Amino acid sequence: MTSRGGAKVLSLKFNQDRSCFTCCTDAGVRIHNVEPLTEKAHYDTSEMGTIIHCEMLHRTNLIAVVGGGPRPKFADNTILIYDDVLKKFVLDYTFTQPVVAVHLKRDRLIAVLRRQIHVFSFPNNSRKLFTLETRDNPRGLCQINSLISSEKQLLVCLGHKLGSIQLVDLSVTELGISSAPQTISAHQGEVACLALNSQGTVVATASDKGTLIRVWDTVKRTLLVELRRGSDPATLYCINFSPDSEFLCCSSDKGTIHIFALKETHLNRRSSLKKMSFLGNYIESQWALANFTVPPECACICAFGSNKSSVVAICMDGTFHKYVFTPTGNCNRESFDVYLDVCEDDDF
What is the helix (H) or strand (E) element at residue 317, kind and residue range? Answer: none
Q: Which whole number is the average pLDDT over 241-252?
A: 96
Question: Which CATH architecture best describes the domain 9-341?
Answer: 7 Propeller (2.130)
For the cut 90, the answer to whether the pLDDT of residue 179 exceeds it is: no
pLDDT range class, residue 11, cuts 50, 70, 90: very high
Q: What is the mean pLDDT of the chain?
A: 90
pLDDT at 172: 64
Q: Is the pLDDT of residue 3 over 70?
A: no
pLDDT higher than threshold 60 for residue 244: yes
* H or E stretch covering 69: strand 62-72
Q: Would you call the peptide bond into 36 cis, given omega within 30 degrees of 0 as the criterion? A: yes
Around 339, how many Cα atoms within 13 Å sit in the side-chain half-sphere? 36
Q: Is the pLDDT reported for residue 148 higher than 80?
A: no
H-helix or E-strand containing 48? helix 45-48
CA distance linking residue 285 with residue 260, whole number of Å? 12
Amino acid at 73: K
Q: Distance (Å, rounded) from C-alpha 256 to C-alpha 296?
A: 8
State residue 348's pLDDT score. 38
Q: What is the pLDDT of residue 270?
A: 80
Q: Give me the percent of the chain exceeding a pLDDT of 70.
A: 90
Per-residue pLDDT, 26: 96
State whether residue 266 is helix, strand or coil. helix
Confidence (pTM)? 0.91
Residue 54 corresponds to which amino acid? C
Residue 11 and residue 26: Cα distance in Å, rounded? Answer: 10
Instruction: Please indicate whether residue 298 or residue 97 has the higher confidence score (pLDDT).
Output: 97
Q: Kind of pairing, strands 164-169 and 212-217?
A: unpaired
Strand partners, 32: 21, 39
How far apart CA 45 and CA 23 sit, in angstroms, is 13
Q: How many Å apart are CA 115 and CA 100, to the nearest integer?
A: 10
Q: How many CB atoms within 10 Å of residue 341?
A: 14
pLDDT level of residue 177 (50, 70, 90 thresholds): low
What pLDDT, on a 0 to 100 scale, did the predictor assign at position 7?
87
Please, which residues bridge with residue 12 across strands? 23
Q: What are phi and psi of 70, to 5 degrees?
A: -75, -30
Among 29-38, 83-92, 145-154, the minimum mean pLDDT is found in: 145-154
pLDDT band at 149 (very low <50, low <70, confident <90, very high): low
pLDDT in tens, 129-146: 999 999 999 999 999 998
Provide the pairing of β-strand 319-325 with 331-338: antiparallel
Which pLDDT value is given to residue 274? 44
* Measured distance CA(226)–CA(223) in Å, rounded: 8
Reported as a single tens digit per residue, the pLDDT across 192-216 is: 999 999 999 999 999 999 999 999 9
Checking if the pLDDT of 114 tops 90, the result is yes
Q: What is the pLDDT of residues 270-319, one digit of tens each?
A: 865 544 444 444 446 799 999 999 987 789 999 999 888 999 999 999 99
The dihedrals phi and psi of 77, each to the nearest 5 degrees, come to: -105, 15
- Other C-beta atoms closer than 10 Å to the C-beta of 134 total 21
Among residues 78, 33, 83, the alpha carbon closest in space to that of 57 is found at 83
Which pLDDT belongs to residue 173?
57
| Mean pLDDT to the nearest integer, 248-264 | 95
User: Residue ranges of the domains in the chain?
Assistant: 9-341
